Structure 1
Amino acid sequence: MRFIASLAVMTGLFAAPLGAQAASLHKDLEQFRAARAFNHLSADGQRTMADILNAKQVLDAGQTDAAIPPLYDAGKRLSAAAKANGQFVAAESSLHPAPQHPVSPAHVASSTPVTWIPVGGEVIGSETLAPEKKAAIATANTQLKSGNIPQAAQTMQVVGADAVFILALAPLEQTQGALNRATVFTEARNPKEASEALQQALDGVVFVSEDFVETMPPASGAQQSATGK
């Protein structure tokens, strides 16, 4: 449950379309060290995970009809995320896991290079930060979750370099497979099996540190999706 709660928080970040906010975001977020990592976020990837979490909650309540729209949305957004320039190919052993967000106990590490999609992010400060900086980080994350990116950037100027950025990554092919299975089970009115398939998608997510995020190479031929639509 802690893993799902953490992912739910992270996928809420940047839920609003980026569009006209991009220039202001780039300018303001350079004021703190984690800013560079924000460029790797995929709006479609984050919305995919939000749709998956929503569908799973509905399926756990046994409501297959209500789960179909978010499942279809998740499929479309995952396809769009696969074309964004935030994706990259790497073996899981080369990732730098973030200790702040350990993987799910059911996580099975891939042994070969796979395509990763950024699906969420969070700014984190140390426990030794001054109270006003801790408050600023909490406020900024709330603003980001609500899509108020320029305001969050201004808030983070109080923190400066005393923050790190954690990025959530999902393996593309594994997530696509789990989502397809969940859709088939849902359409067949098998909510338990559908929910289990979505849980497999969630279990595949890996959280990486800012140090790794800054060195992430874009996938060859990937295209940026400015609005995530």
Structure 2
Amino acid sequence: MSLTEKQLSAEELILSRHSVRKYEPGVTIPDAELNEILELAASAPSSWNLQHWRFLVIREQANKEKLLPIAYNQQQVVDASVVVVVLGDLEANLVAPKVYENATEQIREMMLGQINGAYQNNPGLGRDEAFLNASLAAMQLMLAARVKGYDTVPMGGYSKEALIKEFNIPARYVPIMLLPIGKAQAPGRATDRLPLQEQVIHERF
């Protein structure tokens, strides 16, 4: 029984997600299904609701082949059905007027003042927020793909400079990670985790 046929609990869904590096070549994800995955990912929370992520979706095999050397010849980028390049918006404050266009004038002015003030007074904030919020969307994308019966692997091993040049990514956006999506040819390996007591600090150090 596939995941699309079986309703998983949230706990089962989270625990069933593993990083998959071997995919069945030639599998096509239907447009409607891919859009559903992306829409679920885009429902992730974000600071001030600025939705700091952008998804560069690479599906054409020729473009995946161009991506292969950029990703240091990791085969999953050409075998997976789709590679989503998760980008972070360094100037997400510019989206604020559209985000708050339907708010009352009082709320809109308050929020725009707060957002622009924060960005103007802290040069590093745009980058920090881009990474923070785009990473939330990336995790949600992986879980959304799992719901639909697909597997993923988050990838940080690639040349950001070559990626930007090859795919003409504007300076406004910073690459966060590559996310291949597809049908697993071999299951992902469950990895060990540190005991909870080594990961959790209560109240203070």
TM-score by length of 2: 0.26
Q: Which has the larger radius of gyration?
A: 2
TM-score by length of 1: 0.24
Name the one with the larger helix percent: 1
